[in-house]
Amino acid sequence: MTRLRHSALIVIACGAAAVLASCTGGRAIEAYPTATGGDAHRGKTAIERYRCGACHEIPGIRGAVGLVGPSLAQFGRRSFIGGEAANTPANLIKWIMSPQSIEPATAMPALGLDEQQARDTAAYLYTLR
């Protein structure tokens, strides 16, 4: 492949990525199915339905400006969940379903999400980088 053709393909690929990212307000929503077994699009819906934004600031979620819990901006880059557990998909799913099982004194309530909803929510949170 000629150098010019290779460069043109790179430019086209980068342009396509920019278009896809612009569809989600500048952030590409990835599914993360292997890591969490969930779907980020369904996770966004669950976060809205369970009103997680009443306590947390969550990028990409309309009205999610809560100040009770920590901001979830750049959650996918964090090392710990609740200051206690390593930020792994298994720990995050457990935290979403039953935060007291990881940190008994946490103020975060168990909201009643089932395992699939927790997997979906985790997939969305990992898009926040």
Name, in order, each residue with C-beta under 8 angstroms of 75's C-beta and a sequence gap of 6 or more.
125, 126, 128
Instruction: Give the mean model confidence (pLDDT) for residues 33-51.
Output: 91
Phi, psi (5° rounding) for residue 57?
-85, 125
Q: Name the more confident of 103 and 35.
A: 103
Q: Does residue 46 have a pLDDT over 50?
A: yes
Instruction: Give the mean model confidence (pLDDT) for residues 106-116.
Output: 97
Least confident of 17-31, 59-73, 80-94: 17-31
Q: Does residue 20 have a pLDDT over 60?
A: no
| Neighbour-count burial of 39, counting CB atoms closer than 10 A to its CB (0-12 exposed, 13-18 middle, 19+ buried) | buried
What's this model's pTM, rounded to 2 decimal places?
0.75
CA dist 8 and 29 (Å) reads 26
CA dist 98 and 81 (Å) reads 12
Which residue, 37, 44, 38, 46, is CA-closest to 59?
Answer: 44
CA dist 66 and 1 (Å) reads 53
**Contact, 80 vs 55, CB < 8 A?**
no
